[in-house]
Structures are given as structure tokens and as C-alpha cells.
Copies of this chain bind each other. A is one copy, B any other.
């Protein structure tokens, strides 16, 4: 396996873009990424496109890569449409990584794009339901309810109050206020978070990720082909792991069984030859913001039950020793499902290149991106990714 680097990243700002279709959103992200990489489009030899709910939203159920990338100037190369719920874009990133790592191609494009805002909001909600196990959904098990159950289990096992959980949103909304690509750029106080509408106790509105339109792209390149391009310092893909959930009778929060987030991270750590203390900055999948606490522990950044203390001590802030979700995370940046994974990668690339502006983490050498897609309550029907990047 050859070493693979990220040469460039690009994003279409996440938000509400009613006048733009998938191809328009993708256009901005992929051409920004090409420019950032200083790679001509004609050099792209393979492309993976992630999109999760476009069939139900746009009516284009098949060949989305071809219909999105074709009008943007790509053709005559292998294109793969991939989907893995909230881990779709990171799965596309992994696909291109593998195409290059295997030696098959030297330069590839990974792109995630999602359009969610429609005049008919019920269509968006019903599309979202369709990326968790629909049989469970029909019984009322939805993302917010499932996350709320996980939060309650967490509090029962490790303690902590609703106020403690809400502090994640306070931290991340501040980070998001510094991110020009974020949907929501207002820093919230604890009071504002707790006064926002209750969604599923203990989750309030400002603790949940937003429906959003957006796109994010990355140009990957074989390390031994980088010299062809005058380019900024490339960022190395040190680990890239994908896993599906295992059926479990009990939630790992109730037991000492390792979560699939942990198992996926272990695989990425193994590939990178690293351990948790080597990570300088991380983007984690906080579709509901308190879940960041579970990820912080499951990724090994602190011990079980310690994440609230870490949060309150400011250790996961931009200025802390393990900054988490410097981008604002899914709640502030917004969560266009099929684009999120590569937005995380863009944030970490910017951090490692020292280009994160007001969000810059000092001396960041190694970063991690973690995604979980699907409903995690029994762990079975979900996809998990973990990407470690280093400069």
C-alpha cells in the first residue's frame, strides 16, 4: 500500500441554498479543492461521490456521481456512488484513498454533497428517516430519540447534568462562530441553549444538528506523485478505517463492551502506528452535541466518564490540549448528511496546514475525523469511519 496525501480541500458553505442543485453545490467544492491542490481537473483519474438522500430529495436515485460531476467537466474516469448515511463522505474519501494506496491511480477526487432544504419540510424529514433502519423508525426510533436515550444512559452511569451536556453546544457554537463555512455563526450561552425548544429530553434544539445544503471535496494523491504539482504542504493519510456495527443486546454505555467507534478508531490507530495521545485535534460526529462526550471517551482521549470534566476544564476547547470540533461540529456547521465527513477532513487539513484562522490550534501535527452513520442504539445498522491525518 502506497502512502496517500490530501493535496487540497474545498467546501461550499453549509446552509440554506434553495436555488442550488447538487451539481451547483458540488461545483464550488470540487473546483475550490482543485485550486487548493493546484491540480488540473484533467489529472483526476478516479472520483467517488457521496450523497445520502438525493434520491428522495431530487428524484435522481441513480448515477448521481455522473449527473453531478459530468456537468462539472468530469468524464471518462471511474466514478463510484457511495452511501453510508452520515459516514457517506468519509466512505467516499476512503474509497479514493484505497484506489490510490493500491497503486491503481495516482490522483483522485472525493466529494460529498447533499441538498436537504425543500419547501416541503416533511419530505426532508421522511428522507432522513430513510437512512436509519426504517422498521425501527416506524416504531418511533429516530436520531434525536436514540441520542437522547444514549445521553440518559450516560448520565445514569457516569453522572452529569443536563447543564453539563449543554456546555458542548456552548463550546461548539463559539467555534462555529469563527468558521466562515458554518451555517450557524452565533455563539450561544448556556442559558440560550437550555431555553431553546426541547426536542427529546435532555436534548434542546441548539444541541441538535441542522438540516443543511452543502458540499465538501478533497483531492487525494499518491505521495510519490506529489512532486508533479507545485502545491502547499500535503497532509498525509496515516489511517483510514471503516466498520459496520455489530448486533448487541445491550448498549456499550450499559456494559464494558467496546463500542464500534472504539474498534474503528483502534484500526485507524493501528494503521497510523499511533495512540490517542498523538492526536492534536479531532472532528467527531456530534449529530446531537452531547454525543461528542461519548466519542471523546470512545476515541481514547480521556477515560470513561471523564469527558464532562475535560469539557468543563476547557481541555476540548480550541486552546485546550485535545481540541474537539474546532469547526463548530455538526450542530453549528450544519449537517448536509452526505457532505459532513469530508467537511471534517477539510477542517483537519486546514488545522494541520495552519490555515484555520481564528480557530487555529497551536502546533497541530496530527488530527482525527470520526463519523457514525445510522441509528446506533443497537449498533447493528450503522457505518463508522475513522481517518487520521498528519502533516
A-side interface residues toward B, CB under 8 Å?
1, 47, 52-53, 55-56, 58-67, 69-70, 74-85, 88, 91, 95, 98-99, 101-104, 127, 130-134, 241-247, 260, 263, 337, 373-374, 379-383
Q: Could you pull out 25 A-B pairs where Cβ atoms are within 8 angstroms?
A: A1-B102, A55-B130, A59-B130, A60-B134, A61-B127, A61-B131, A62-B83, A63-B84, A63-B131, A63-B132, A66-B133, A66-B245, A66-B383, A67-B134, A70-B244, A75-B246, A75-B379, A76-B244, A77-B244, A79-B244, A80-B91, A82-B83, A95-B95, A98-B98, A101-B102
**B130 & A380 in contact (Cβ 8 Å cutoff):** no
**B84 & A80 in contact (Cβ 8 Å cutoff):** yes
Chain B residues contacting A65 (CB-CB under 8 Å) are 244
**A82 & B79 in contact (Cβ 8 Å cutoff):** no
Chain B residues contacting A131 (CB-CB under 8 Å) are 61-63
Chain B residues contacting A132 (CB-CB under 8 Å) are 62-63
Main secondary structure of the interface of A (DSSP, over half): mixed
Give the copy number.
2
**B61 & A245 in contact (Cβ 8 Å cutoff):** no
Cα–Cα distance between A84 and B98 once the two chains are bound (Å) = 18
Q: Chain B: which residue is nearest A76 at the CB level?
A: B246
**B62 & A53 in contact (Cβ 8 Å cutoff):** yes
Chain B min CB distance to A192 (Å): 32
Cα–Cα distance between A246 and B42 once the two chains are bound (Å) = 12
Q: Chain B: which residue is nearest A77 at the CB level?
A: B244
Name A62's contact: one of B64, B85, B380 (CB within 8 Å): B85
